[in-house]
Structure 1
Amino acid sequence: MAGEGRGLVLVTGASGFVGKWTVIELLRAGFSVRGTVRSEAKAEQVRKAVTVEVGGDSLSRLSFAYVDLLADKGWPDAMRGVAAVMHVATVIRGDEPRDSSLVIRPAVEGTERVLRFARDAGITRIVMTSSIATVGYGHGQVSGKKVYDETFHTNLDGMKFTWAYCIGKTRAEQSAWSFCRANGIDLTTIHPGAIIGPALDDDASISIQMVTGLLDGTTPAMPSNGFAVVDVRDVAALHVAALLRPEAAGERYLATAEYVPFTGVGDVLREAYPQYEVTIRTVPDWLIGLLARFGGPARQIINDIGNEKHYDRTKSEALLGRPYRSGKEAILASAESALRLGLCKPKPKVAKA
């Protein structure tokens, strides 16, 4: 797929945070793109983002398919003429739903549907967005620092507390590798950490709330843990690199820059925005543990309380051909875009008498 006019790539979930940036990077690299969306309004969001980042001339290489991950209708037409598929679409929620199938079904059944129709269309190259949730859990780490690489696979049976996103992504990846090996499809999986960085519009990642929530006080107190973060622009660029480099077929790549605790995010924001009341309080670990027993948002972070999960970026940076942007740069890009787009409204710091 070298040179200009590289062919048509289908991007599922094109209107999402990662989806829009992936569309942009593919267009920059000379590909034509067909994005899957749920509505014309979502398609228009993508067009606006593309116009700002790449220019209006690129719209001639952008088209859309209106399909649903949980229905067969429209998928044969979506796959027609496609050279490769980037399966980016997923369901991410800030809460833990009582009905876990709301997250698990789109992850597992949606992936199986995309792969099945890709196979039927004769497509043999897939790049799929997975997660570190499929890598660093269920290995018995409850304290201390541990470094994970691409050889680790989450063990759902080894987890005391699971959450829907982790279950869905893990089962979806397992299903994808099994299906692709059985059907002669070259698969690459990309495993991002907490994806932050510049929002293009109000349809941004839930992960950005770890920045905006501290900046505007909607997160009144921080947990003690942190996450391996990554800039969305690097995640999108890694997807394109995986498509362009033949050696990426059959491989997993961890997409993480560095481990940043919530308190570190707060420190970056207080330094950059001294005029605002950035959250400074923390939540005791014992309270997170108690709340996790009843589900809710605490269930999504309980496995990261009291320990540090680091992810080796050597393999993915080699594929990318450069280092990832720093966590600080990604944090500041998140904050700048959120303020510019009105996604958060910080409280001015009140001068003490």
Structure 2
Amino acid sequence: MSYMSNEKVLLTGISGFIGLHCAQQLLNAGFDVRGSVRNASKEKEVRETLSAASVDTTNLSIVELDLTSDKGWDDAATGCDYVMHVASPFAIANPKTEDEMFIPAVEGTLRALRAGQKAGVKRVVLTSSVVAMFGSMKTGTFGPKDWTDTTSVQVNTYAKSKTLAEKAAWDFIENQAGETPMEMVSVNPGGVFGPPLGRDITGQSMAMLDQMLRGKMPMLPKMSFPMVDVRDVAKLHVQAMTTADAAGKRIVASTAQPGSFIEAAQILKDQGYKGPSTRVAPSSLLRFVALFDREVKGMVGMLDMNLMADNAQTLSLFNWTPIEFKQSVLDAAAAVQDITR
């Protein structure tokens, strides 16, 4: 799809796993992109990564923005028609203090919204997560009307941060003054798999896949929740930005059926990969390890989870056919092997 509009998009977090795919799809569709990075030294890597993926970066500019600082936000949004706010701290491990994650997530989101409103942008697309919907649920189906209970002790810090940030964003949108209020759409991805656009595999899902392929994960946690391919996440971001009927909606960006690391390992073994193990880690063991390990502690709330997603609105609104989980896993594994050879 090519819009050839020369409309401008402020894309925060352009150097990340999702951000690079969003930049690729926006530039290929004819948008001007102003991408934000935390450090200007990232610009060369972003441009080289996109160029290596055959993306014309003529209409790309890079700005330096920090989620925890007001500096530069108003200038970055000036002249933009849309804001795509992808940047957010992500880690499974619970930080030493919750504010380490809460402050950049919530304040960064509000900075993006305030700058967008001041610049007169039409619509903001906010990258949220399904963890802002399913909270401490273990079984059943969640959907766009569900919200995570941030007071639950079963909810990890990351899920709380995404929920608080998204709620703060919707509160901001609902309390706008003026005749032409800014629109917003939240895109809530499930577990994100699929190939990275560049050669960075330090993100959580790629790092875990790399460990699986190397045989460094002898046991896997028992948890299943809806997954999504990173290329679909980017596609849905662009459609959420450009589809009139998407305004004001929370978009479930995932398959309806759950996927798991155990399933991913089996897919890889069936394709001849030698490293992955399909042994299941006893949940009781992981709960014990969580007493000493912050990363495992962040995972405990999702142990024994087996959730479905109600993605009917997404399928109909965007006429979307999700990339299958098997394809995501195999494409990601091929990319990781190519990078680590």
TM-score (norm: length of structure 2): 0.92
Q: Distance in 1 between matches of 2:98 and 2:69?
A: 19
Partner of 1:231: 229
Q: Secondary structure at the match of 2:62?
A: strand
Q: Secondary structure at the match of 2:186?
A: strand
Partner of 1:152: 146
CA deviation after TM superposition for structure 1 residue 225, in Å: 1.4
Partner of 1:324: 322
Q: Distance in 2 between matches of 1:28 and 1:318?
A: 24
* AA of the residue aligned to 1:155: D
* AA of the residue aligned to 1:203: D
Partner of 2:10: 10
Matches within 5 A, 1:259-338: 259-274=258-273, 276-293=274-291, 296-338=294-336
Q: What's the C-alpha RMSD, in Å, of the aligned pairs?
A: 1.8
CA deviation after TM superposition for structure 1 residue 303, in Å: 2.3
* AA of the residue aligned to 1:87: H
| Residue 23 in structure 1 maps to residue 23 in structure 2 | yes
CA deviation after TM superposition for structure 1 residue 42, in Å: 1.5
Q: Distance in 2 between matches of 1:39 and 1:215?
A: 31
Q: Secondary structure at the match of 1:82?
A: coil
- Residues 125-167 of structure 1 show CA distances to partners (whole Å, capped at 9, x for unaligned) of 10000001100014xx34xx3111111111122x232322111
Q: Secondary structure at the match of 1:220?
A: coil
Partner of 1:87: 85
Partner of 1:351: none
* AA of the residue aligned to 1:60: T
* AA of the residue aligned to 1:29: A
CA deviation after TM superposition for structure 1 residue 192, in Å: 0.4
Q: 1:121 aligns with which of 111, 114, 119?
A: 119
Q: Secondary structure at the match of 2:70?
A: coil
Q: Which region of structure 1 is more displaced relative to structure 2, 282-291 or 101-110?
A: 282-291
* AA of the residue aligned to 2:158: Y
Q: Distance in 2 between matches of 1:273 and 1:334?
A: 15
CA deviation after TM superposition for structure 1 residue 242, in Å: 0.8
CA deviation after TM superposition for structure 1 residue 320, in Å: 3.0
Q: Distance in 1 between matches of 2:153 and 2:260?
A: 23
Partner of 1:197: 194
Query: Contact 1:191 / 1:255 at 8 angstroms: preserved in 2?
Result: yes
* AA of the residue aligned to 1:76: D
CA deviation after TM superposition for structure 1 residue 6, in Å: 3.8
Partner of 2:100: 102
CA deviation after TM superposition for structure 1 residue 100, in Å: 2.4
- Residues 22-62 of structure 1 show CA distances to partners (whole Å, capped at 9, x for unaligned) of 0111111111100001223322222122212243xx21110
Q: Distance in 1 between matches of 2:4 and 2:222?
A: 48
Q: Distance in 1 between matches of 2:210 and 2:111?
A: 35
Q: Distance in 2 between matches of 1:210 and 1:243?
A: 31
Partner of 1:42: 42
What are the ranges of 5 or more consecutive residues in structure 2 without an aligned counterpart?
none
Kindly tell me: are residues 277 and 203 of structure 1, through their superposed partners in 2, closer, same or farther at Cα, counting changes over 3 Å? Answer: closer
CA deviation after TM superposition for structure 1 residue 316, in Å: 1.4
Kindly tell me: are residues 100 and 203 of structure 1, through their superposed partners in 2, closer, same or farther at Cα, counting changes over 3 Å? Answer: farther
Query: Contact 1:127 / 1:189 at 8 angstroms: preserved in 2?
Result: yes
Kindly tell me: are residues 306 and 333 of structure 1, through their superposed partners in 2, closer, same or farther at Cα, counting changes over 3 Å? Answer: same
Partner of 1:165: 158
CA deviation after TM superposition for structure 1 residue 195, in Å: 0.8
Q: Distance in 2 between matches of 1:319 and 1:338?
A: 33
| Residue 176 in structure 1 maps to residue 175 in structure 2 | no
Query: Contact 2:129 / 2:162 at 8 angstroms: preserved in 1?
Result: yes
Q: Distance in 2 between matches of 1:298 and 1:241?
A: 35
CA deviation after TM superposition for structure 1 residue 104, in Å: 1.5
Q: Distance in 1 between matches of 2:304 and 2:69?
A: 41
CA deviation after TM superposition for structure 1 residue 293, in Å: 4.8
Partner of 1:51: 51
Aligned length: 334
CA deviation after TM superposition for structure 1 residue 290, in Å: 2.8
Query: Contact 2:233 / 2:253 at 8 angstroms: preserved in 1?
Result: yes
Q: Which region of structure 1 is more displaced relative to structure 2, 3-12 or 332-341?
A: 3-12
What are the ranges of 5 or more consecutive residues in structure 1 without an aligned counterpart?
346-353
* AA of the residue aligned to 1:259: P
Q: Secondary structure at the match of 2:9?
A: strand
Q: Which region of structure 1 is more displaced relative to structure 2, 8-17 or 146-155?
A: 146-155
